[in-house]
Amino acid sequence: MKKYILLGLIMLVFYIGTSHAMEKKLMIPDDSLRIRVIPNSNSDYDQEVKKKVKNKVQITMYNLLKESKTVTEAREIVENNLDIVDNEVKEILLTENYKDNYDINYGYNYFPEKTYKGVTYNEGYYESLVVKLGKGEGDNWWCVLYPPLCLIEEDDTEYKSLVKEILNRYF
């Protein structure tokens, strides 16, 4: 019985240690650039338009920033390509028969607190590219432009811990 308790404690310590390490990997660096797309509302239509804008802008930003080596370089690329983002958003909204206005802002913008995959990101003002559609009152999407922590990240990979599975199975 003592062997099982000792094994359980070792596995618990290992699990806690690896969970803490994984959490640290998910932290966003202070000198990062974010992107946020805020829809007019939570209606199905507005959320679908947000998704289309997000997908297009996300691909464009990935292609523009994939070779950038520093935050300064990434910042310059974003600032110099705002007209491309504007044209892409305008094109999508025209195609979708979207009648409300939109706004594109690059600077320090407010981000509410968000919990994603068990990690809580603090609210605050962050250097970011924000696309606001209409009143901007719907559930938003945001990500990190630089370093590219989640650009083109849409694989719903679920990471599992063998130790956690064993603990859950037997305790």
Q: What pLDDT, on a 0 to 100 scale, did the predictor assign at position 21?
A: 43
Q: Which of 76-85, 93-102, 159-168 has the lowest mean pLDDT?
A: 159-168
Q: Residue 145 pLDDT more than 50?
A: yes
Query: What is d(CA 107, CA 17) in angstroms, rounded to the nearest whole number?
Result: 37
Instruction: Report pLDDT for 9.
Output: 52
Mean pLDDT for the chain?
A: 81
pLDDT digits over 147-156, tens only? 877 655 444 4
Name the more confident of 8 and 139: 139
Among 13-17, 65-69, 76-80, 99-103, which is the least confidently predicted range? 13-17
pLDDT tier, 26 (very low <50, low <70, confident <90, very high otherwise): low
The pLDDT score that the predictor gives to residue 157 is: 38
Report if pTM > 0.95: no
The string of pLDDT tens digits covering residues 85-129 is 999 999 999 999 999 999 999 999 999 888 877 888 889 999 999
Q: Name the more confident of 20 and 111.
A: 111
Distance CA 24, CA 128 (A): 22
How would you classify the pairing of strands 102-111 and 124-133? antiparallel
Alpha helices in 26-81 (DSSP H): 44-65, 71-80
